[in-house]
Structure formats: C-alpha cells, structure tokens
Structure 1
Amino acid sequence: MTDNYCIAIAGIGAVAKMHAKSIADLPNAELVAGSCRTEDKGQAFADDYGCTYHSDTEEMLTTTEPDVLIICTPSGAHLEPTLAAAERGIHVLCEKPLEITTERIDAMIAACEEAGVRLGGVFPQRYNPVIETMYTAAAGERFGRLAVTNAYVPWWREDAYYEDSWQGTEALDGGGAMMNQSIHTVDAVQWLAGAGMDIPPTENPVAEVTAYVDTLAHEGDLIEVEDTAVAVLRFRDGTVGQLLGATSMYPGSLKRIQLGGRNGTVEVLEDELLTWQFREEHQEDAEIRKTFTETTSGGGSADPMSIDYHYHRRNIEAYFDALDSNEPFMLDGPEARKAVEIIEAVYESADRGEPIKLE
C-alpha cells in the first residue's frame, strides 16, 4: 500500500460499525465522516469512531471530499449515493448487494465507468481462508469434472428483526432470505463453481435456475418478502447444485457449502472443514485438514451481528490495494452483480413456475 485514503461512510447502521473497525485497523486509511438522517445515532457513531457526522450524504461528500465512499445504506438505496460520489470523482465501495435489481446495478457501473472511478463490492466470504482454500482446489481442477455444488443457509430471524425496519420490505430489501441473508453464500457458490470454467470473466457461471419461494414462518404483514427459498441451479459446464436460503428455521444453524466431483469432495460448515478428500492426496492436504477444525463465529445464523469483522477488513484492504496498483479488483461491479442476477432469476422462476435461463 502506498496511498493514505480518507473514507466517508453513507448509512450508519450495524454493518457500518464493521467497516469503521476495519478502517481503524488499516495503516493507510482514515474514517473522516459518516452520514445518517438520525442525529442521535449519527453523532454517537461519530463520537465512537472519531469522525464528523452529517445528516445528508451529498453535503458530506461536498464538504469532506473523501477519496472513497463506503455505502452501508439499506440495499435499495445504494444507487443514489453511488451516483453522487461518481459525479464528484470519488471511488465507491458498496455493501452487499450492490443494489436490489440488475437494472440499478448497471446504472451504478455505467456512472462509475463514465467518471473514471472504481466501483467495488463487499462479499467478505471471499476473504474467509477456508473458502479461499476451496477456491484454490477448484481452480486447480482437483475435483476433476465438478458434478455438484450445494449451499445451505438455514437461519432464523425473530419477528422483532422485521418490525419497524427496512428489512423485509420490497422497496429497500428487494427480497428476503435469499437477497439479504443468503447473498454472501450465493456469491461464494458462483465464484467457487466458476473457478475452473473457461468462460469470459463477465459471464455468470450459472446458466439456469428453477426455484420456489414462500413466507412460512413470519405471518401477517410483518414481512413483504420470502423467508424461505429453495433453488436448483444448472451451471454452464453442466454442474448442478442446490441453494437453500431461510430465516424461517428456528433456532438457526450454521451455513454449509459442498463441492464434489469425480476426483474429490469438500464440505465446509461455516469456518470448519468437515470433508477434504481427494482421489489424489497432495502434500499439503493433511495440514489443510488440521488448520480448519472449528468455527469461531456464529455466522449470523440467529444473530445478525455474530459475524467476525476481520473478513470485512481483508475485503476493504484488497480494494485499497487495487486502487494503489491500478490492478483489477476481484469484486468489481460486474463481478459483484452476478449474485443479484442469480437471485433475480430465483424470484422470476418462483413467480412464473418455470426454469429461467440467464443470458
């Protein structure tokens, strides 16, 4: 790293605190400002993290002139601060999802490209060492032909989570258990399955989706979106897979990812490696099995804030590295868009009652 970055955060909710802690850990970054419509909450955040509070994001950008805007507003309110930052020549790092529709994401990508600023996404599971190790195996074709890629997010959310909140609304959440809670795993699955595919980098490795969604555990008008979703995926190389995304399964369990093929199977439970078995044993395999023997985080299965912020820190650090070097960022706009494209197909398939092909 060579540059020192002045950072502003738009949206001072719970996830913004993870970003603030991450920035505090980095030697070349300083949090200078945060914006929030609620003065008490905004001023408390400013006091805790040594920055200035602003009630309006555009005023904050004009006044403080940061190098990077990190967007932590509700999911369906990511486009507007991105446009405001791009107009001012400010780079943008945006929390998941980039936005709640691919149409709005495309507007973000176009604005940043036109302004010559870098748009990046936040998917910290890509910086989870056990997921990185799985990716290396997939990219090294250790599975042979990949046959199956499964992912399960069997989580629970109490009714209070949705009460008087933007979560669970069509307008700002854009979806439920799949769009909000499971999107990290959707991104991880498409990244892992695509590791060995010979396709253009902007092409989604998922070819077709068949899905069912419903609201089964949260009754009445508490939630406008699904709390339960199941999808079957067919990838472009013929691999098949299953996705479960739920906030309907009390008391909530850790997420699980499985990859398997002719020459091997790997299974991960949150941060714990349950299975690492290949037809051809490599020298490093025994050490890998010894390294990932436990889960140290609740993973968000019942408590949204039981997530370790250190993967956020690595995500942010990698973005700054890309700015420094002017090299591609792994989670640029088109790459971070892929998970939303898959989830849009999940909702469309469930609505139409038929498989949906991704273009």
Structure 2
Amino acid sequence: MLRVGIIGAGGISSAHIRAYLAFHEECEIVAVADTAPGKAASKLESHGIRGAKAYEDPHQMLAEEPLLDLVSITTPPSSHASLTVAFLLGGMHVIVEKPMAPSLEECDAMIAAQRESGKILSVVAQNRFRDDMATLKKAVDSGLIGSVSHLRIESAWWRGLAYYDLWWRGTWESEGGGCTLNHAIHHIDLALWLMGRPTEVIAMLANAQHENAEVEDLSVAVLRYGRGLAQLTSSVVHHGEEQEIVIQGQFARISQPWRVTAELSQPNGFPVTGGNTALVDELNALADAHIPLLHQGHEGQIGDVIAAIREHREPATDGTDGRNAVEVVTAIYKAGIEREIVQLPLDPEDPYYRSGTLVQRAPHFYEKRASVGEQSGEIIVGASTPTSND
C-alpha cells in the first residue's frame, strides 16, 4: 500500500485526491499540506478522508512523514522546483502539476534531483490519458495521413477579470507567465506528443482584456516542423472556449473533435468531387476500433504512475516531457518579447534558460491591482476539451 502525500490544497488538488481514491486498494492518502491555515484540514474533511494528517508547512510534512512513498505537488508554479527537489531527495516519488516550472534552469534541477534520487518524477499531462487524444495519436502514428503539412491548435479559454485577483496569478514572478504557460501548456504538450519538437518559433504576445494582470492573456505563435508549420493560439479571452486540434496531412485531414476529410487530385491538380472516401472510411474504422481507456485524465496519469512504481518502470510522462513543453513556452515568450525567430533547442547559455529572466525582461502589460487569498466559485475545467488547472 503506497503512502501518499499532497502538497497544496487548492482547486486542482481535488482532481488528485479523487484519482488516488479511485486506486484505494493500492494507495492511501496520509497527509496534506498547505501554507494557508486550516486549508489542508478542510480539504481532507471535504473529501471524507479520515486518519490523514494536515500540515501548514510542507517541509514539516517532509520531516515528520519519512515513510511517504508518493507526493503530488499542486502548488503555484513558482514553488514547483524547490518542493520537487526536496521531496525527491527525501526519497519520495513525485507527481508535479503543470507547468513543471517557470524556467528551464529549474526544470533541469528537478530532472537532476530525479536522477540522483532514482525516484519517479512525472509532470501532469492528463490530456494524454483521454480517448479522443489517444485516437488522434493512433491516427497520426498509423501513417495513413502521410507527412504533416500544418497543425492548427486553438487553446481557447475564457476567464473574467476576477480570475487574476487571486494572489499568485497575474505576475511574471509568482505565476511564471500568462495563458501560454498556464493554459496552453496542455495543448503544447499534446503537440509535442503528436509531432515531436519543433525547430523554430515566432510569436506575438498581448493582453487584450485583463487590465489587472502583468502577463499576457493572448498569444499567437508559429512553429516550424520540417517542411510544415504549426499555428498555436493561446488565450483566456475566447468566449465559448471552442478548442480544437486540426492536423492537415499529405493524404487527409483529421481533428479533435474527431472529423476526417481526404482529397484526391484530378489531372489538373484540382480536387475530385467527393474526395477519397476509401481513406476516410479507413481512418474512421481506426477511430471506431479504439478500446476506451479504463481511467482518463488525472486518474489515468496517476494510475500509470502507481503502476510504474509497482512495475519498476518509467512513467508514461516524465520530467523530460514536462521540460520540453516549458522549452516551447520559453521560446514563445522569447520570440514575442525580443521580436525574433527563436531556434530550438534553447542553449543553457541563453538568458531565457535562466530563472528570473522573464521577471526582468517581460513587459508588464498592466499592473496587478488586486490580491485576494481565496476565491469562491467552482473551477471549471471542461469534459470534452483539454483541461486547465486554473
């Protein structure tokens, strides 16, 4: 029976708690920590967890719970690196929420601690554990669509002004960035999973609607993949939150939500009326053959980590996956701030590799004008679209 601790008792911690409870035969939540007085105890009570201990200092939890096997870190991004390193070196496996950290320097420190400790480090990428995304991945990997020409990703979210009033949101120092880092990172991870790492990035950043935040609420980036391009919109200003991934291949177009189109050429290069129905049928058959996952989202990822511990193997998503997503975000920020085409991978000598560069160089679109410790209201993360933690 794995002994589990959770650091951070905010909204997203409930997704972790529900996931662990789904595997109650293999793990038990024994401790929760949050620096806000009474918050950890309240979180335990709200989920009906009895016998677990509440802490107001995660380092006290580390000192008093040396037999913990696995820890979920669900705190604000600026604290991810220090907590992850401490608990890995304390002998515990770690699952850390997205984004892995605000800088590549911190990501590399986390990966180094994982290697030194020999423990598992998994960065949350829960949308890889979804039936629709698994279907899209299978279709890309099948080769049926041919080489990819264009990838269009709409990471479209909507958040009201009050969203950035929460104390840690809306500043480069505490949140690490805006919608590109904290919302679109899910779609960026999916792009990396589907397509691999791009070679070049160009971008523009804006704050279109949130006068109470330093950070961007909108960015548009273009990424180069071989002969093709990817177009990424990151946003918290899109009404309706209509998210989409469209992949245009040599032979067919596929997308999430699932839809297939395939053209055939006339002798003059114009499309044949009706298109390639045989290929459309083949791709739809591939999608229909997908066997539904037993566990999805956070539950799927946490289940995989528990299995990885049991089977002494690497998790499906690890620290390198988390770092790769942060690298693309960092390139987008550098491209937007410096107004240049950014080559990947980023060199450790690049100023944007280091912690603190964004705080020094990023524009303050507006100054944060409110700071509240808690907010009421439900955290909506969606069901059929990639989910955000915020």
TM-score by length of 2: 0.79
Moved more, 139-148 or 96-105: 139-148
Q: Give the match's secondary structure for 1:39.
A: coil
Please tell me whether the aligned partners of residues 68 and 92 of structure 2 are also in contact (alpha carbons under 8 angstroms). yes
Structure 2 residue aligned with 1:62: 63
State the one-letter code of the partner of 1:36. D
Give 1:172-321 correspondences, 5 Å limit: 172-194=174-196, 205-219=197-211, 222-235=212-225, 237-249=226-238, 251-268=239-256, 272-275=257-260, 279=276, 280-281=279-280, 285-286=284-285, 288=287, 310-321=296-307
CA contact (8 A) 2:144 2:283 kept: no
Over 3 Å counting, the alpha-carbon distance change for 1:88 and 1:357 in structure 2 is same
Provide Cα deviations, 1:27-67, integer angstroms capped at 9, x if missing partner: 31211111001122221112233132101111112222310
* 8 Å contact from structure 2 (residues 261, 280) kept in 1: no
Q: Which residue in the other structure is 1:21 paired with?
A: 18
Q: Which has the larger radius of gyration?
A: 2
For residues 267 and 143 of structure 1, what CA distance do their matches in structure 2 show? 11
Deviation at 1:282, TM superposition (A): 5.9
Q: Which amino acid aligns with 1:17?
A: S
**1:183-213: CA deviations, max 9, x gaps?**
101110121112xxxxxxxxxx111000000
* 1:19–1:313 contact (8 Å) kept in structure 2: yes
Is 1:79 the counterpart of 2:81? The answer is yes
Secondary structure at 1:14 match in 2: coil
2:317 corresponds to: 331
State the shift of 1:281 in Å. 4.9
3-state DSSP of counterpart to 1:173 = coil
1:22 is paired with a residue whose SS is helix
Work out the CA distance in 1 between the residues paired with 2:253 and 2:283.
Answer: 16
Q: Which residue of 2 aligns with 1:30?
A: 28
Deviation at 1:277, TM superposition (A): 5.2
SS of 1:336's equivalent in the other structure is helix
Displacement of 1:288: 2.8
Q: What is the rounded CA distance, in whole Å, between the counterparts of 1:56 and 1:74 in structure 2? A: 15
Q: How much has 1:291 moved relative to structure 2? A: 8.4
Aligned match of 2:357: none
Deviation at 1:287, TM superposition (A): 7.1
Residues in 1 aligned to 2:146 and 2:75: alpha-carbon distance in whole angstroms: 42
Would you say 1:116 and 2:118 are equivalent positions? yes
Does the CA-based 8 Å contact 2:201-2:335 persist in structure 1? yes
Distance 1:180 1:111 in 2: 24
Letter in 2 for 1:35: A
Change (3 A) 1:40 1:277: farther
Q: What amino acid is aligned across from residue 233 of structure 2 in structure 1?
A: L
SS state at 2:305 partner: helix
Residues 81, 109 of structure 2: 8 Å contact kept: yes
- Which residue of structure 2 aligns with residue 96 of structure 1? 98
Identity of aligned residues (%): 28
The aligned counterpart of 1:306 is: none
| Distance in 2 (alpha carbons) for counterparts of 1:243 and 1:281 | 26
1:200 paired residue number: none
Unaligned stretches of 5+ in structure 2?
264-275, 346-390
The match for 1:155 among 154, 157, 169 is 157
- Which residue of 1 is the match for residue 40 of structure 2? 42
Q: Distance in 2 between matches of 1:44 and 1:320?
A: 26
Residue 127 (structure 1) aligns with: 129
CA contact (8 A) 2:159 2:236 kept: yes
Distance 2:99 2:140 in 1: 25
Mapped contact 2:89–2:116 kept (Cα < 8 A): no
Counterpart position of 2:142: 140
Unpaired stretches in structure 1, ≥5 consecutive residues: 195-204, 293-308
- Deviation of 1:155 (Å): 1.6
Residues 260 and 284 of structure 2 are in contact (CA less than 8 Å); yes or no, is this contact kept in structure 1? Answer: no
CA contact (8 A) 1:276 1:289 kept: no
Mean Cα displacement is larger for which, 333-342 or 283-292? 283-292
Q: Distance in 1 between matches of 2:205 and 2:241?
A: 19
Does the aligned pair in 2 maintain the 1:230–1:244 contact within 8 Å?
yes
TM-score by length of 1: 0.85
Q: In 1, are the aligned partners of 2:260 and 2:283 still within 8 Å (CA)?
A: no
- What do residues 214-240 of structure 1 show as CA deviations (whole Å, max 9, x unaligned)? 111111xx11110010000002x3321
CA shift for structure 1 position 87: 2.1
Paired with 2:312 and 2:150, the residues of 1 have a C-alpha distance of: 36
- C-alpha spacing 1:319/1:160, structure 2 compared with 1 (3 Å): same
